[in-house]
């Protein structure tokens, strides 16, 4: 049910220069989802009446992702005035004038902050009738963070940013996480008094805390139990740390749901993945995108699946697959490469060093090894010999190959598309199929073998091969 007295403001305007990237910081991904996408998902779980995202750097790119992730969110632009205080100020202007509830403010680069933690913060804020309540954390090393300075009564007195702190303030280890709940009337009133006379020349949201205390309002800080919950992502190191933390939680969740993960440290699973009970995941496996794995499948080792569907009891090992469908009881690998729109039917096989693309391989059919199958339809219970290539490209256009059911093709075949091989047909070793093969026919395209006697001794005199041939000739005589 929507909380009509709750609004969420997401700060996503920063450039994120420490990422050293052409990609806006909040669009870097974690478990397959942009950082800001995690924050938007958390906001959605709070069921607020309003969600407002503040953008500036790479405005259109960030706004596009926000709109796709949470269409009901309102996107507003921060102006030339820098600072989180100004960002919140422009967000408040987008709220209905009659909104009189509470405002949660979170950063778009804090992906692991969950709705449960924020929900408890809101409850504490409302129970104590505070003007502002913020999340804090106690760190062994608080370098770089704003410090929470408490008064003699234990309540929050003010927040001092790192660059503005004196020696005693820098010794404080309780830090501001950048996540808040404000009573909207108090926030509106005090933001108008916040200036930019500080070390960074910015309009700090944190200055509101001191102003509220000066006016006699109550401000509380609620520490989180584990500091990583409120950890921000400011560079690639912190991105990797957050990714490892989130992945450990995801893997553990699937283990508790009945999935065997042999080596959690080398197994990576995106948030959108779906895995059934009794799936087994071997070391070195990445399961990405919206991949779905059915019961009893064995995945890995050393396998990457992106947006794939894996059927019940299928086996996929040492394989790279994207947008592929693998049927029930089918086997893939090792060293297989399944490109988009590869479909392997039930009990089928794609074997070692096989590449497929935009092809459907029917029930029980096999491409065991060393082959390229592209733009092809293969019927049921057919077997494609080693070293087969579907020549699907004429330099301008792609063409399709059709292989019927119960077909047996020999090694080192080339099917020059467009071509059809009928049901029950056979092909000889080394055959280049340039025209349709009727059902039940045998296609061959090899010339009669001709042996040129004495060629090595005549054309390669003095070589080891010539000497070996001469010795063999003498022994035969």
Active site positions, annotated: 369
**Pairing between strand 156-160 and 174-183?**
unpaired
**Which among 47, 69, 114, 110 has a CA at the least distance from the CA of 249?**
114
Peptide bond into 334 cis (omega under 30): yes
The 3-state secondary structure of 12-54 reads ECCCCHHHCCCCCHHHCEECCEEHHHHHHHHHHHCCEEEEEEE
Which residues touch 115 (CB under 8 Å, ≥6 apart)? 42, 45, 46
Rounded Cα distance, 159 and 145, in Å: 10
Peptide bond into 301 cis (omega under 30): yes
Which residues touch 309 (CB under 8 Å, ≥6 apart)? 291, 292, 324, 325, 326
Which residues touch 162 (CB under 8 Å, ≥6 apart)? 143, 144, 145, 146, 147, 170
> 140 — phi, psi (to 5°)?
-65, -40
The 3-state DSSP class for residue 317 equals coil
The 3-state DSSP class for residue 456 equals helix
DSSP secondary structure string for all residues of 159-208: EE-GGG--HHHHT--EEEEEEEEEEHHHHHHHHTT----STT----STHH
**Which among 439, 428, 371, 368 has a CA at the least distance from the CA of 402?**
439
Range list of β-strands (E), 197-269: 219-223, 260-261, 268-269
**Which among 356, 347, 348, 315 has a CA at the least distance from the CA of 334?**
315
């Amino acid at each position: 049910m929507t909380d009509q007295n709750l609004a969420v403001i997401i700060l996503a305007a920063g450039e994120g220069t420490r990422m050293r990237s052409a990609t806006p910081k909040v669009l870097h991904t974690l478990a397959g989802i942009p950082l800001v996408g995690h924050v938007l998902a958390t906001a959605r779980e709070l069921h607020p009446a309003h969600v407002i995202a503040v953008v500036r750097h790479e405005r259109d790119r960030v706004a596009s992702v926000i709109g796709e992730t949470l269409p009901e969110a309102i996107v507003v632009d921060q102006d030339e005035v820098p600072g989180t205080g100004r960002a919140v100020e422009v967000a408040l202007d987008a709220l209905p004038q009659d909104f009189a509830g509470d405002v949660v403010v979170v950063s778009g680069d804090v992906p692991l902050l969950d709705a449960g933690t924020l929900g408890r913060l809101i409850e504490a804020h409302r129970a104590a009738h505070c003007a502002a309540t913020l999340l804090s954390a106690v760190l062994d090393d608080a370098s770089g963070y704003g410090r929470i300075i408490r008064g003699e009564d234990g309540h929050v007195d003010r927040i001092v940013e790192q660059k503005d702190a004196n020696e005693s303030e820098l010794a404080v280890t309780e830090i501001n996480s950048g996540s808040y709940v404000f009573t909207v009337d108090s926030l509106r009133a005090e933001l108008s008094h916040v200036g930019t006379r500080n070390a960074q020349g910015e309009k700090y949201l944190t200055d509101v805390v001191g102003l509220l205390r000066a006016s006699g309002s109550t401000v509380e800080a609620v520490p989180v139990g584990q500091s990583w919950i409120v950890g921000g992502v400011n560079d690639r190191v912190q991105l990797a740390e957050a990714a490892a933390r989130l992945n450990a939680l995801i893997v553990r969740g699937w283990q508790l749901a009945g999935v065997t993960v042999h080596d959690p440290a080398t197994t990576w699973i995106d948030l959108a993945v779906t895995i059934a009970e009794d799936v087994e995941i071997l070391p070195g496996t990445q399961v990405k995108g919206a991949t779905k794995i059915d019961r009893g499948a064995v995945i890995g080792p050393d396998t990457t699946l992106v947006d794939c569907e894996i059927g019940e009891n299928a086996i996929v090992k040492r394989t790279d697959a994207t947008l592929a469908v693998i049927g029930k009881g089918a086997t893939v690998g090792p060293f297989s490469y399944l490109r988009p729109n590869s479909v392997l039917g039930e009990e089928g096989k794609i074997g070692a060093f096989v590449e497929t693309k935009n092809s459907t391989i029917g029930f029980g059919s096999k491409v065991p090894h060393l082959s390229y199958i592209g733009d092809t339809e293969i019927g049921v219970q057919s077997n494609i010999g080693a070293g087969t290539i579907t020549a699907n490209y004429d330099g301008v256009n792609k063409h399709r190959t059709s292989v019927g059911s119960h077909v047996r093709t020999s090694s080192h075949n080339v099917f020059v598309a467009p071509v059809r091989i009928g049901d029950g047909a056979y092909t000889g070793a080394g055959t280049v199929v340039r025209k349709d093969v009727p059902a039940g026919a045998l296609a061959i395209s090899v010339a009669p073998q001709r042996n040129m006697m004495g060629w090595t001794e005549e054309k390669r005199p003095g070589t080891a091969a010539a000497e070996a041939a001469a010795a063999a000739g003498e022994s035969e005589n």
